[in-house]
Amino acid sequence: MAEQQTGTDRSGRFAAYIEARKFDPPRPLLIKAADLAEQKAHALDAGAGALNATKYLLSAGFAHVTALDAAPGSQRIAAAMPPEQVRFVLSRFEDFAFPERHFDLVNAEFCLPFIAPGAFAAVFAGLLGALNVGGIFTGQLFGPHDSWNVENSGMTFHTRQQVESFFADFAFVELTEEDKPGMTKLGEAKHWHIFHIIARRLPR
């Protein structure tokens, strides 16, 4: 997403972001995570956006991908993809029933911070619980120094200690923290505080 986040016109901003991302290559974190997956029967692309990750997961050998997003623009992109391999669900995270121990990989690129604080714990627990034992989670959480961390943003931010606590049943493959100025996809200056995560679910 780009532009300052206030929660007032987020749907329009997401639509602009999806359009800007349409032809982007897969992010390096996803490429690394997909290569780590021991099984490739079914992946979840959460916050699928322009479905760049969905397309990459298919090319990386996943037999089926569920793409989840609340944006109609995402649904239109998904309509051109093979229905026998891609299932698109038009839904907010808060309204999606995550199936327990169903996916070999869950990809959540730059989408989880947009879950409202009051809903985050339950939604994230459901998302992580949807992974099979040995399955891979990859995605980002935002830290408290992020410039979108303002009053009434409707977003959720976490300290490193909180991030680590979410993954008690996982082994980190990567946990990289960025805390620096940069730019958004739509060309605006922004301070990013991001945790980039790859983690494998342990057999507990």
What local confidence, expressed as pLDDT, does residue 145 receive?
A: 98
- The CA-based angle 40-89-22, given to 5 degrees, is 80
Evaluate if residue 204 carries a pLDDT over 90: no
Q: Retrieve residue 198's tokens.
A: 């790859």
* 122: Cβ contacts below 8 Å, ≥ 6 apart: none
Q: How do residues 135-174 score in pLDDT, each as one tens digit?
A: 999 999 999 999 999 999 999 999 999 999 999 999 999 9
Percent of the chain with pLDDT over 70: 92
Q: How do residues 50-92 score in pLDDT, each as one tens digit?
A: 999 999 999 999 999 999 999 999 999 999 999 999 999 999 9
Question: What distances in angstroms separate CA 36 from CA 75, 135, 171, one per listed residue?
Answer: 28, 9, 13
119 contacts 94 by C-beta, under 8 angstroms: yes
Listing DSSP states for 147-201 in one string gives TT--TT-------HHHHHHHTTTEEEEEEEEEEEEEE-TTS-EEEEEEEEEEEEE
The pLDDT confidence band at residue 101, using thresholds 50, 70 and 90, is very high
Q: Retrieve residue 3's tokens.
A: 């532009």
Question: What distances in angstroms separate CA 159 from CA 46, 47, 145, one per listed residue?
Answer: 22, 22, 9
What local confidence, expressed as pLDDT, does residue 10 receive?
A: 66
Q: How do residues 170-196 score in pLDDT, each as one tens digit?
A: 999 999 999 999 988 777 899 999 999
Interatomic CA distance for residues 200 and 197, integer angstroms = 10
Structural domain 10-201, CATH architecture: 3-Layer(aba) Sandwich (3.40)
pTM: 0.90
Please state the separation of Cα 65 from the chain's center in Å. Answer: 14
